[in-house]
Chain A
Amino acid sequence: MLSSVAIRCYWTGRYLERAENMARLVAVYSDLLLDLPGEAGVDWRTLIDVCGSRAAFERYRGWMLERSAVRFLTAEPDNPGSILSSIRFARENLRTLRDVVPREGFEVVNELYLFAEARLGRATQRRARGELLDQVVGHCQRMTGLLAGTMLHAEPYQFIRIGRHLERADMTSRILDVAGDLLEKDERVLAAHGTSLWVNVLRSASAYQAYRLAVRSRIAPLRVVHFLLREPTFPRSVRHCLEQIASAVAQLPVHDAVLQEVAAVRQAVDALNLRELVREALHREMDALQRRLIGLHEVMERTWFFPAYQAIARP
């Protein structure tokens, strides 16, 4: 398998997952902000922070915060992290993968792109927003299902899988990162709205119903953090994502270094003291986790995407 094809499969997985996550996040925040009073200190900038694009947004925004933020995160072609951009990147990668990916795969994403380009601008209108974002999530899930159900589960598929789960783990860590910020709000706000904030942390990760089913206990910060980091049966928990990555990596050639790195990240997650984490260190530790995930990406680059020639035995 060509390195360049592997890279494009990997990024296809990441971009599709990113588009889906972003659509879900914008929908959840729209809902949350309707419930919270202004003094809760949560606004659209919190979501911009999740995406790590505060500086670019401050340069971009107009005077209407919600309108600017939603446009920036959904339909703004100049924001590389917008839903539209993610879909466009996924489509450009898939265009060159038509030999590898089932034909309908390109069609689904092409259709999604045409839809996003024509309609996503209207997501700034609250009444249209939910429906439009649902469409994005639905298309992405259709693609995931289509690939799982029809694509050869050979090397290209494993790279898509790795991309998807790495992106998902990254997003879950970002959501927790923001939760860390919320914990630092003053007591009075937390007393009034704390539970609703944690409910929304769960909902941002599509974890609310799953949490209810799996935990069967009231919503408390420690349990939520544990669920999102370590619940093995929840498909968006960091642990589950890492397990998926490990299983995909094991099916690829020359995988030793990558597999070791995945195990190291997993160990780091297991070693976290959650009590201490919730009390004071969530922000710091999630930052560290994100850096570990970047490190994992770099090991994959050195192993498969851009290996140095010298390292390779001549035939």
Chain B
Amino acid sequence: MKIKWRDYQGHRGYDELIAPDGQPRPGCEALIAHLNSLGERGLRARQRAAEQAIVEMGITFTVYSEGQNIDRAWPLDIIPRVIPAAEWQRVARGLEQRLQALNLFIDDLYHEQKILRDGVVPAELVASSREFLAQCRGVSPPLGVWAHICGTDLVRDEHGVIRVLEDNLRVPSGVSYMLENRAVMKRVFPELFANASIAPVDDYPNRLFDLLASLSPRPGDAPEIVVMTPGVFNSAYFEHAFLAQRMGAELVEGNDLVVLDDDCVYLRNIDGLKRVDVIYRRVNDAFLDPEVFRPDSLLGVRGLFRAWRKGNVALANAPGAGVADDKVIYSYVPDIIRYYLDQEPLLPNVPTWRLSEPEALAYALENLDKLVVKPANESGGYGMLVGPAATRRQLAEFRQRIQANPRNFIAQPTLYLSTAPTLCGSAIEPRHVDLRPFVLQGESTWSTPGGLTRVALRKGSLVVNSSQGGGSKDTWIVAERR
């Protein structure tokens, strides 16, 4: 059987692999030809092989349901998403530019606040932000970097333009799945990797390790680096364990660490205490240190903030970095890039209305059924309204919530996200995708080639989060043949 790519068409919007004329896009020719040669049965066999590999390799994510944490097998669609290397180079430069500017912005906010005094970003916006931590003012983390690890969500609109949907500067997750997806795909499609030039992704743990090591307050020594997890009940626990293992770092919880009178952090080992230099923490700011933040936190370490302030331990990401991934701040990022770097942004934002502005608010309330409305400080796709998919009751409810606190919301047009061919039962159908590359900043800035492609498995759905029925794809950055 030959896959009839012409039947695949008939959808508006942009497809990642197939051009409107039914032909493969540049860079996808070999892949499409290979999929065709496998036919429906061959494809299904490969999909089963992939699912088997995922179970054998123990790649899971955790969902919380009925009071129990359940490990589910990670959902991977075997048809990869392809991006030509030349296009990716431009995107990667844009991502790096963006993170550099955001770090300058955060550092400025906790020091002189020049950008507020110059009126580029309104001061009241920062003052009212939940993620701005007054306790961080005056702290100078190593290299002046606050957000070392950033997961930037990219989408491609119906005109083929790649845009930034949001920046995740707190504890972004997903990178382990990017790595595991590739490992599975190499097992399932070895012949494709042999014949094409697909950028490898498995350098990430080494890059992350080097970045963390460069933050150590005791240069010269072999630094003691740990990954700090909220624990086994966290939905990203698999990833925390995975990264710790790949970096050869200890995976710790709050009660494995202790801060002594010398304001240094120590690991509690069976043969005594051992000084810790760098903590890659996957615990949110609010739970880091009950001495400074939430006093009821059982996940944190008493005195950790003190140790960090004194420069005795490095935290990645630094506390307070989340101020720059506020969704209202997001709308100012193009201005932030111009302000600090004196450059034009290489990656555009999604057009965004700030509902704190009266005209924008009026427009949004008028057109609620056409817009996506997001609260400023949520992640994981929670608490947002997708206008076209909402019931009248939901619309009315949201209207009230917006009016009660307009500062807390932004509105964006409903993006018709690009699609990619996805194996759905016995057919190949277009499904909407986004992309989360991971960007690291230490002494230099670096982006993963590609990233984690997430796919909305339900027909027509735009929600790609794995906690809400999303799947994933391997992402191939493919060098075109000369």
Residues of A within 8 A of B (CB): 1-4, 6, 92, 95-96, 98-99, 103, 106-107, 155, 252-254, 303-305, 307, 309, 312-315
Contacts and interface: CB of A to CB of B under 8 A. Distances in A.
A2 B258 contact: no
B232 A95 contact: yes
Contacts of A314: 260, 262, 273
Nearest to A300: B270
A267 B241 CA distance: 43
Contact of B270 (A98, A99, A155, A315): A155
Contact of A3 (B241, B270, B275): B270
B138 to A, nearest CB: 29
Contact of B272 (A4, A155, A252, A307): A307
A4 B262 contact: no
Nearest to B260: A309
Contacts of A4: 252-253, 255-256, 268
B251 A6 contact: no
B270 A6 contact: yes
Interface in B250-271: 250-253, 255-256, 258, 260, 262, 267-271
Q: 9 smallest A-B Cβ distances: which pairs?
A: A253-B271, A304-B270, A312-B272, A3-B268, A6-B270, A96-B232, A1-B270, A4-B256, A312-B273
B245 interface: yes
B58 interface: yes
A259 to B, nearest CB: 14
A254 B274 contact: no
Nearest to B57: A103
Contacts of B258: 309
Contacts of A96: 231-232
Contacts of A307: 268, 272
Contacts of B455: none
Interface in B262-300: 262, 267-275
A98 B232 CA distance: 11
Contacts of A106: 58
A99 B267 CA distance: 18
A305 B272 CA distance: 10
A252 B269 CA distance: 12
B333 interface: no
Interface of B: 58, 231-232, 241, 244-245, 250-253, 255-256, 258, 260, 262, 267-275
A315 B265 CA distance: 12
A2 B252 contact: yes
B58 A3 contact: no
Contacts of B244: 99
Contact of A2 (B232, B260, B268, B275): B268
Given A99-B244, A315-B275, A253 B251 contact: no
A51 B258 CA distance: 37
B269 A3 contact: yes
11 contacts: A1-B269, A1-B270, A4-B256, A4-B268, A6-B270, A98-B241, A253-B271, A254-B272, A307-B268, A313-B272, A315-B274
A2 B271 contact: no
Contacts of A98: 58, 241
Contacts of B251: 99
Nearest to A303: B270
A98 to B, nearest CB: 6
A99 B250 CA distance: 10
Which among A3, A95, A305 has the highest number of chain B CB atoms within 10 Å?
A3
B232 A254 contact: no
A287 B267 CA distance: 38
Which of B258, B270, B271, B274 has its CB near the most chain A CB atoms (within 10 A)?
Answer: B270
Interface centre among B250, B252, B258, B271 (most CB of A within 10 A): B271
B245 A99 contact: yes
A254 B271 contact: yes
A80 B252 CA distance: 27
Given A1-B270, A2-B250, 9 more contacts: A2-B267, A2-B268, A2-B269, A4-B255, A4-B256, A98-B58, A99-B245, A99-B251, A252-B270
Contacts of B245: 99
B58 A254 contact: no
A140 B36 CA distance: 48
Contacts of A2: 250, 252, 256, 267-270
Contacts of B232: 92, 95-96
Nearest to B266: A309
Contacts of B272: 254, 307, 312-313
Contacts of A95: 232
A254 B271 CA distance: 6
Contacts of A254: 270-272
A35 to B, nearest CB: 42
B282 to A, nearest CB: 15
Nearest to B253: A4
A315 B274 CA distance: 8
B279 to A, nearest CB: 14
B254 to A, nearest CB: 10
Nearest to A155: B270
Contacts of A305: 270
B406 to A, nearest CB: 44
A103 B262 CA distance: 40
Nearest to A159: B270
Nearest to B275: A315
Contacts of B275: 315
A231 to B, nearest CB: 32
Nearest to B274: A315
Contact of A103 (B58, B250, B260, B267): B58
Contacts of B58: 98, 103, 106-107
A305 B270 CA distance: 7
A113 B135 CA distance: 47
Contacts of A3: 256, 268-270
A270 to B, nearest CB: 29
Contacts of A107: 58
A309 B302 CA distance: 15
Contacts of A304: 270
B345 to A, nearest CB: 41
A99 B255 contact: no
A42 to B, nearest CB: 39
A309 B253 contact: no
A6 B270 CA distance: 7
A263 B15 CA distance: 73
Contacts of B267: 2
Contacts of A92: 232
